[in-house]
Amino acid sequence: MDLTTRYLGHDLNSPLLAGASPLTGDIGNIRLLEDLGAGAVVLPSIFEEQIEHENELMDRLTTTGIDSYSEALTYFPSAATNGTDPRRYLEIIRRAVEAVDIPIVASLNGITDHGWITYAQEIEQAGADALELNIYFIPATIDISGHQVEQRYVSILKAVKKAVKIPVAVKLNPYFSAVGHMACQLVEAGADGLVLFNRFYQPDIDLTRLTLSPSLELSSAAEIRLPLLWVALLAGRTSASLAAGTGVESADEVIKYLLAGADVVMTSSALLRYGVGHMKVLLDGLKGWLAARDLDTLDRLRGRLSQLNIADPTAFERANYIQVLQGYRGKPVGNQPVSLAPD
Ligand SMILES: Cc1cc2nc3c(=O)[nH]c(=O)nc-3n(C[C@H](O)[C@H](O)[C@H](O)COP(=O)(O)O)c2cc1C
């Protein structure tokens, strides 16, 4: 069965990618993911704050006249050895690229277009095949406008694109007034791919201790609906690669995202929950589904249920919401099934 897929200018053996998480920062896991059929691996992010911290450290070293770098680092042990510093990140990229044949996508997480962006060049020099830019910006002050938020995304992307030649995907969030228009602005500014969607950290409140409780919840399959909607709306309407992520628990979610029009599907929570071996479960499930329908490539599947390809495009819009409500009053709901048979 041919599961080859193109993503960010690379030919992949499969459309299933391991998304960014602590699990993908381990070379053993990356090797295993390749063996189990992952098409590519996205490394965990290196954050703007970490890079800025290192830059500050370098400034302090050079301005205090210390000329032996490694010796000087001992003066700042916490920054130099905390396990996630930018130099170690580059080392992980080098080792990952050496260890496997599948593309290694590095991940930069930031919110400004300042000096830290030159680090993207170091990522490229370390051998990363592509870069995922996770712009994790919560406009927490109320005097910033939607237009300013959008401009921030565009200007960060432009700065990164200026710094590197490798393909750059933007991992964006669904909280724009017009997600589609934002996606188009990013593609116009040079995005080679869009990753739908980023999942913002949302703190809870601990009612016993009366504090904010910071915890990162793993996702569930119920969360695929919003990215599924936007993949289906954007598929065929943008020249950028489309990656779908969030809520992939089983092969069902993978197949749904492909039907909606995703080029690739990413999974993080499921691998953290069930272990790296779950990559094979997802791929076997996809292959089984295709085999049961006599499909031997992904072409007959991909995008068949995107908005551009279904008979009733309003099924993705308000009109269908009204139909669904009518369904509660006993009227049948549903649209025409699509055929996967050759045209
Ligand atoms: C523990 C954990 C760590 C994560 N770390 C990163 C990260 O470093 N960079 C990033 O872009 N996304 C990170 N993510 C987000 C995932 O890549 C993914 O976008 C999100 O979890 C939705 O996909 P999922 O439903 O398959 O988990 C992390 C998610 C989890 C659960």
* CA 297 to centroid of ligand 1, rounded, Å: 29
* CA 32 to centroid of ligand 1, rounded, Å: 19
**pLDDT in single tens digits along all 343 residues of the chain:** 899 999 999 999 999 999 999 999 999 999 999 999 999 999 999 988 888 877 776 666 555 544 444 444 443 334 333 346 899 999 999 999 999 999 999 999 988 888 788 899 999 999 999 999 999 888 888 999 999 999 999 999 999 999 999 999 999 999 999 999 999 999 999 999 999 999 877 888 999 999 998 777 899 999 999 999 999 999 999 999 999 999 999 999 999 999 999 999 999 999 999 999 999 999 999 999 999 999 999 998 999 999 999 888 888 876 666 667 677 666 666 677 888 877 6
Q: Whose CA is nearest to atom 28 of ligand 1?
A: 21
- Which amino acid, residue 220? S
* CA 21 to centroid of ligand 1, rounded, Å: 5
**Interatomic CA distance for residues 18 and 130, integer angstroms:** 14
Which of 17, 21, 196 is the best mutation target for the ligand 1 pocket, counting ligand atoms within 8 Å of the beta carbon and taking the most?
Answer: 21
Atom of ligand 1 nearest to the CA of 271: 26
pTM (2 decimals)? 0.90
Residues lining ligand 1, judged by CB closer than 6 Å? 19-22, 44-45, 107, 109, 134, 171, 199, 216, 218-219, 245-248, 267-270, 272
**Interatomic CA distance for residues 186 and 113, integer angstroms:** 15
Task: Output the CA angle 29-35-40, nearest 5 degrees.
Answer: 70
DSSP reduced 3-state for 154: helix
Q: Whose CA is nearest to atom 30 of ligand 1?
A: 21
